[in-house]
Structure formats: structure tokens, C-alpha cells
Amino acid sequence: MSVLGMDPDALRHHAARVEAVAAEPRSALEAARTTAAGHDAFGVLCSFLVPVLAGTQATGIAACAAAVGSLEAAATEVRVVATGVEVTDATVAATATGISRTVAAVREQVWPVAGEELVRGTVRETLGAVVEASQWLDRLEGTPVSPAGPRPGPLPVGVPAPGAGVAP
């Protein structure tokens, strides 16, 4: 199971089921293509039926081909999503691991006593800026920073309200 809450294997299994569903219209398509009525199929008296049936058959073949193509494309797209989930999951995990290692290295660092307060103040300012940026992004997306926390203030001037969009 992915950290994103999606199971790539389940997505691939679903893609295989979609391809299995495509097998039926694919069989019908092959049968329709091989069973075209000849010009003498109904004899001389009913020869007028051949063009009528040919048009209907062509329409049916086109519809069947579209169904098969759509199902095969859907299966391919589901597989692409599964691969995208895996790649995104790996990228997020690697990024989180790197951040975690950086934070651990900063915490383990021995800071000079004389400049310790200066360093702590700088770290606090940096963390404050990160929290402020996070709150700004949350406001931009229209989600609260935390369910228990207070709602942030108004957005900066020129930033559209969530859902308002930007005019072209």
C-alpha cells in the first residue's frame, strides 16, 4: 500500500480486468469484420438489402472498434496511474528521509555557547517563516492549518481567495 493511500498492485489488477472486459467486444469486432455480406448474399430479388446491411454493419464495426479502443486505453491509463503512484511515493519518501536526516544533523550539531542564543533565535525565525508559509498555503488551498488551531488572517493583497480563480 502506498503512503498516498493507493495500492499500485490493485490498480494493475483492475487494469487486467478492464482488458478482460475488452475481450468480448474484441471478439465481436473480429467476427463482424470477417462476416461481411456479399453482393449476391440474398439473390437477385433481394439484392437491395446488401447496401442497407453494409451500412449497418459498418456502423456496428465502428462502434465495436471504438469500445475496444476505449477499454484498452483505459487499461493503459490505469497502469500509468499505478506507475505514477509508485514514482510519487518513492520521491516523497526520499524527500522526507532527506529532511529527517537534515533535521537530525542540525539537532546533533554542537553549537558554540556564546552564539547559542543567536543560533536558536535564527532557527526559531526560520521555523516561524516555514510555519507562516505553510499557513499561507493552507489559506490559499482553503484548508485550515489545524482543526484545533485558529483560522489564519486574510490573504496578502493580490492573492485570490480560495476557489475564486485567476482571470486570464
Maximum Cα–Cα distance across the chain:
110
pLDDT tens, residue by residue, 10-45: 999 999 999 999 888 888 888 888 887 766 767 777
pLDDT, tens digit, 9 for 90 and up, residues 51-82: 778 888 888 889 889 999 999 999 999 999 99
Q: Are 78 and 18 in contact (CB under 8 A)?
A: yes
The C-alpha atoms of residue 42 and residue 88 are separated, in whole angstroms, by: 61
Domain ranges in the chain are: 8-109, 113-156
pTM above 0.85?
no
pLDDT tens digits, residue range 88-120? Answer: 888 888 888 888 888 888 777 766 655 666 677
DSSP string across the chain: --TTS--HHHHHHHHHHHHHHHHHHHHHHHHHHH-PPPTTTTTTTTTTHHHHHHHHHHHHHHHHHHHHHHHHHHHHHHHHHHHHHHHHHHHHHHHHHHHHHHHHHHHHPPPPTTTHHHHHHHHHHHHHHHHHHHHHHHHHHT--S-SSSPPP-PPPTTPPPTTT----
Rounded CA gap, 55 and 57, in Å?
5
pLDDT of residue 168: 44
CB 75 within 8 A of CB 68: no
Q: What integer pLDDT is reported at residue 113 of this predicted model? A: 59
Contacts of 159 (CB under 8 A, 6+ apart): 140
Residue with cell string 474484441:
26
